[in-house]
Amino acid sequence: MTEPLIRHYGPKAYSDHPPFSYPDYKSTVLRGPSLDLLTIVQTLSETTGPGPVWTEVSEEDADLTTNAGTGETAIGERIIVTGRVLDENGNGIPGVIIELWQANACGRYVHWRETEFPAPLDPNFIGVGQCVSGEDGEYRFLTIRPGPYPWGNHPNAWRPAHIHFSLMGPSLGSRLVTQMYFENDPLFGFDPIFNSVPEHARHRLVAHYDHDVTEENWALGWRWDIVLRGNAATPFEEQGE
Amino acid sequence: MSRLGETPSQTVGPYFSMRLSAEGENVLTNRDDRIVIEGRVTDGAGSHIEDTLLEIWQAGPSGRYNHPDDRRELELEPSFTGFGRTASDFETGEYRFETLKPGRVPDPEGAFQAPHISLIVQGRGMLNPVFTRIYFSDEAEANADDLVLRSVPQPRRHTVVADLQEESDPPTYRFDIRMQGDDETVFFDF
């Protein structure tokens, strides 16, 4: 019988991620595990994952300026967000499902939760999209630059503008949900969610303006690469085949 | 070559359900022999958490994963992805999956693991995902031999075993998730 392929992933770099409890972000205090994680061996259950089984992605869903399907275009500053999904060795990872969600240009989400923030909705913007990374791990979205918005964590709390990203990598351990920010945001210093990330790693969440991505008379370009846990190099078992 | 640093995790926040956990993503099958997994997510104060994202990943009934690395010649139902996700209920913290009971998957020592489902929990107020496993109370014999379960200190083992509800139809397993406090669920690092 053909044997399964067990890829061994290196240990997760916990020092590059936020702690479970970060008291400045108040909701974390009661919601992260208080006991140590229990280290287990990697089995097929950990080295496989849901990423590769997803196929339902339409190209239209990478264009958030029109995917509301109204025939009209969303209002706001049109931007291109592009980059590559990479493993820790810098190799592009193809076939990664990337889903995103975000506020509109005014800082308002299309969501049933109530908000006291009097910002308008845009009937032509639903704020969600998805795409699959290409052969070299590349991805690209057309969207509207989201606005900052207030939240209830502390007095006069505002989130820096950000786009939520969800990535389904090749294995369970490469699952990543994160947020992309825009360089030079004046709100960075005030945001406990951004600052929950150890200082040396914060810059990895920040997209940079790239004039080579910007398209004349159309949209400004932002570049952001995403590094997933893992090493996609050819595993030992396959060498010599 | 120098290694690149991982992109840090951030919370899914309160609005993830705009995109993640669409209606029906918690139903992996409509087969007659399906099972139900349900439970409640609670925080360190014992209150329900109204906005967690729960994702499951599992083998099919043959024990094979629908994944390119699992090339064993075992039956694979093409329509069964083994992946599902849902959000805990805003009012109650309850969640529910309808799925198939997974078969046994080999461990690295050549034995078979007990049937289990991998579970990822994320949420507003959680800056990182946590990973656990759902085992089954009616698999006592297999559970006793399971490599991972054996490594869990005995007093905490029950936190990762879903309880089959008496006379439930379809068979319904209860799996509560306690992020902290008495009977805190065991979360794994791998």
Q: What is the pLDDT of residues B86-119, one digit of tens each?
A: 999 999 999 999 999 999 999 999 999 999 999 9
The interface predicted TM-score (ipTM) is 0.96
Range of the domain at A185: 14-232
Q: Is residue A96 part of a domain?
A: yes
Return the structure tokens found at A166.
Answer: 């969800």
CATH of domain B16-178: 2.60.130.10
Q: Is residue A127 part of a domain?
A: yes
In chain A, which stretches have pLDDT less than 50? 234-241
pLDDT at residue number A239: 36
Listed in sequence order, the residues at least 6 apart from A28 whose beta carbon sits closer than 8 Å to its beta carbon are A20, A21, A22, A196, B125, B126, B127
Answer whether B69 sits within 8 Å of A89, measured CB to CB. no
- Any chain B CB within 8 A of the CB of A233? no
pLDDT at residue number A1: 63
How far apart CA A144 and CA B69 sit, in angstroms, is: 38
pLDDT at residue number B1: 55
**Nearest 5 degrees, angle CA A149-CA A153-CA A158?**
25
**Residue B66 confidence (pLDDT) above 80:** yes
Q: What is the pLDDT of residues B130-175, one digit of tens each?
A: 999 999 999 999 999 999 999 999 999 999 999 999 999 999 999 9
Residues A85, A8, B9, A100: what is their CA dihedral angle, to the nearest 10 degrees? 40
Q: Is residue A7 part of a domain?
A: no
pLDDT at residue number B119: 98
Single-letter residue type at B125: G
**Residue B77 confidence (pLDDT) above 70:** yes
pLDDT at residue number A234: 45
**Number of domains observed in the structure of chain A:** 1
Beta strands in chain A (DSSP E): 38-39, 78-86, 97-102, 128-132, 138-144, 149-151, 157-159, 162-168, 176-182, 206-209, 220-223, 226-227
User: Could you tell me if A168 and B120 are in contact, meaning their C-beta atoms sit under 8 angstroms apart?
Assistant: no
Using CB atoms, which residue from A9, A30, A89 is nearest to B180? A30
pLDDT at residue number A59: 87
Helices (H), chain A: 44-47, 192-195
Q: Is residue A205 part of a domain?
A: yes
CATH number of the domain bearing residue A201: 2.60.130.10
Within 154-173 of B, beta carbons closer than 8 Å to A belong to none
Catalytic site residue A31? no
Q: What is the pLDDT of residues A31-64, one digit of tens each?
A: 999 999 999 999 999 999 999 887 678 889 999 9
User: Could you tell me if A3 and A223 are in contact, meaning their C-beta atoms sit under 8 angstroms apart?
Assistant: no
Q: Is residue A95 part of a domain?
A: yes
Q: What is the pLDDT of residues B7-52, one digit of tens each?
A: 999 999 999 999 999 999 999 999 999 999 999 999 999 999 999 9
pLDDT at residue number A38: 98
Using CB atoms, which residue from A9, A13, A166 is nearest to B5? A13
Q: Is residue A5 part of a domain?
A: no
